[in-house]
Amino acid sequence: MENDELLTLLSATAKGDKIAFGHLYQKTSATLFAISLKMLGNRAHAEEALQDAFVKVWHNASEYQSSKGAVMSWMISIVRYRSLDMIRHHKVRKEQTLVDENDHLDDLPIDVDYEDNSKLVDCIEQLDPQQRQAIHLAYYRGLTHHELVDHIATPLGTVKSWIRRGLQQLQRCLTL
């Protein structure tokens, strides 16, 4: 799934093209559902979050700015925020043992079709352990920054720096 193809579909969606929106859904929904399911731990809630996210994509397609990131990243953020809203407002997060520093990427919903998923895995593995853990907890487990502070007993500024620097490093690695 190349960004150019998704950008074409999203641009057509912004103009009200329902067929393009359907193709966009077909190409991205599996990955987005996996992310939502991983965060929510409940299939019905994940389906609801995905549906809400695609409604938002339909209504806000014209607001996408390519200068701020790839189409898939934009869509992932929509699904992630909707899933976080559900966690916060409906208390659907299942109780689970959170990852420790040794929990790696085997259970992450990495289904993004870059040239090869192994590139993404390699880039994530290159992160410092603290960055990898903070990103994992924030993006795949749905913890807020304040929940991360409590979980890993680290100051808020440090947690935010780990996430910001880790995401910047991932972006650089993936564009090489």
Q: Considering only CA atoms, which of 18, 6, 115 is closest in space to residue 64? A: 6
Note the pLDDT tens digit of each residue in 31-51.
999 888 888 888 888 999 999
Q: Residue 125: phi, psi to the nearest 5?
A: -65, -20
pLDDT of residue 103: 42
pLDDT at 14: 95
Question: Which segments of the chain have a pLDDT < 70?
Answer: 1, 89-118
- The terminus-to-terminus CA distance of the chain in angstroms comes to 17
Q: What is the DSSP string of 119-149?
A: HHHHHHHTS-HHHHHHHIIIIIS---HHHHH
pLDDT recorded at residue 96? 41
Residues 6+ apart with CB under 8 A from 99: 133, 136, 137, 141
79 vs 163: CA distance, rounded Å: 19
Structure tokens at 45: 């809630």
Q: What is the pLDDT of residue 115?
A: 43
Per-residue confidence (pLDDT) for residue 98, from 0 to 100: 38
Taking alpha carbons only, the member of 63, 55, 60, 76 closest to residue 3 is: 76
Which CB contacts under 8 angstroms, 24+ apart, belong to 8-12?
Answer: 10/57, 10/61, 10/64, 10/71, 11/61
pLDDT at 91: 56
Secondary structure of 144-175 in the HEC alphabet? Answer: CHHHHHHHHCCCHHHHHHHHHHHHHHHHHHHH
What pLDDT sits at residue 101? 36
Find the helix or strand (DSSP H, E) in which 41 lies: none
